[in-house]
Amino acid sequence: MQKTIVALALAAVAAPALAQEGEVPGAGNSRDARRSPVVVAVEKAAPAVVSIGTTKIVKFRYFDWGLLGERKGEEQQHGLGSGVIVHPAGYVITNAHVINQADRILVKLTGARENEPEIPATLIATDLAHDLALVRLEKPGRYPYVDFGRSDDLMLGETVIAIGNPFGLGRTVTTGIISALDRSISAGDASFTGLIQTDAAVNRGNSGGPLVNINGEWIGVNSAIYSLSGGADGISFAIPAGVVRRFVVDSLRAARFSGVWLGLVFGDDGKGGLVVERVHPVGPAAKAGIEAGSRVVLEGDALRFCFELLDAAATGAFSFDVRDASDVTKRHSLRFEAPPTEELAWTRMGVKCAEVDDAISERTGYRPGAGLVVLEVRDGGPAQRNQIERGDLLVSLGEARLATLDGLLDVVLLPGKDETRELRFVRPKRTRFGTTYENWRARIVLE
């Protein structure tokens, strides 16, 4: 009888009232107790983490023995990585190697819903030297984003969190500590310096995802691992947030996007602000009387200003305040215009050019991005005097690469007349064995 009483007493102790959903019996309000600083940081940062899928179309030729002739084919190469939204308009930071040479970029807000649709994205800027890229989601909306943190006060041993899309597994969280700072590594022909080393588990597919601190602030971009096995061996590297911030500001400060411009370039004033670094002799800024050296009056920081500038390019106008040398502040409202690339190239160089697209590549054999194809040459102009011909591929002028019309615009906007620069170009030469490509150099005088 006594044994029975004891057993009932023990059962009574072990059988509390039914627990609420999400609670562990006997632990009180255990969900709150288990909400550690890491959980809070993940809840803050994770909604801004995305997965990035890329498609690259590779074209090739092969000999069909059945038809006894050459045929064309193509195949799709797919890539996978991560990214983080850094602005509510849908601007995403990732690694350059994640989207390099991609023909299509699709972004998924991992973890939002099981069947979350993929959103097409457009490449805005890349920095191969630091392995960074900025893309923008094409679907309008106000997206969750993560705040930039500081990467200049990091401490060895402090807790960090890596969030990403390893092996396509969606929003995956790993933790670790900062193992070392200011690391340098080499990858192929490239070298990277100033990296954050951590022991958070990072795998293939994590590239481009954020490294966040215990406050949920973004302090780096996960970019590389050191591994003998090919998996996570406890040594991973991230690009510091300070480097990313400079990349974004440098990419957006030129005020020339999507075929429109303001005719000026903003520069860093060395104190976290911006100055008007250069005003081109033609363009909206020159018409408005803005002077080089004027300080930009910021409402916020330089990063916010540059994002607002990029947003304004889609609407057609941008208003901002500048303070001149006399400390007088004036507000300017400028309308974006098409840059006068064609007009200036015709006037100063005597050529009309085009970027190498798929159609031109098919016709000429030139690789897209290799240079600018000459479509027309002006009689008596600098190009004709140097025997430049229609069909030539302009590769560089001076130190400037001529892969895009934007690159050409930078050259023809340079002040001064009668400047002599070395022009490098490629000329196709047809032989009975096919087409060969000869490299030429000329000294061209800009008019």
Write the DSSP assignment of 233-285 as a string of letters. -S-EEEEEHHHHHHHHHHHHTT-EETTEE-SEEEEE-SSS-EEEEEE-SSSHH
Amino acid code (one letter) for 12: A
> Is the pLDDT score of 364 beyond 60?
yes
pTM: 0.74
Q: Which of 131, 199, 392, 410 is catalytic?
A: 131
Residues 75-98 have a mean pLDDT of 90
Chain-centre distance for alpha carbon 123: 7
pLDDT in tens, 256-298: 776 788 988 888 887 888 999 888 888 899 999 999 889 999 9
Q: What is the mean pLDDT of the chain?
A: 83
Residues 342-368 have a mean pLDDT of 88
Spell out the long-range contacts of 283-290 with Cβ–Cβ below 8 A and sequence spacing 24 or more.
283/337, 283/339, 283/340, 284/334, 284/335, 284/336, 284/337, 285/332, 285/334, 287/263, 288/332, 288/334, 290/264, 290/322, 290/332
User: When comparing pLDDT for 342 and 101, which is higher?
Assistant: 342
- Quote the pLDDT of residue 68: 66
User: When comparing pLDDT for 400 and 384, which is higher?
Assistant: 384
Q: Which of 51, 179, 207, 251 is catalytic?
A: 207
DSSP symbol at 103: S
> Is the pLDDT score of 219 beyond 90?
yes
- Quote the pLDDT of residue 1: 37
Query: What is the DSSP pairing of strand 172-187 with strand 190-198?
Result: antiparallel
Active site residue 130: no
User: When comparing pLDDT for 6 and 86, which is higher?
Assistant: 86
Amino acid code (one letter) for 194: G
Active site residue 36: no
- Quote the pLDDT of residue 354: 92
**pLDDT class of 12 with cuts at 50, 70, 90:** very low
Token duo for residue 199: 């022991």
Phi/psi class of residue 300: alpha, beta or left (left: φ > 0; alpha: ψ in -120 to 50)? left
- Percentage, residues of the chain above pLDDT 90: 34
Contact criterion met (CB below 8 Å) for 236 and 199: yes
Q: Which of 97, 130, 223, 410 is catalytic?
A: 97
Active site residue 131: yes
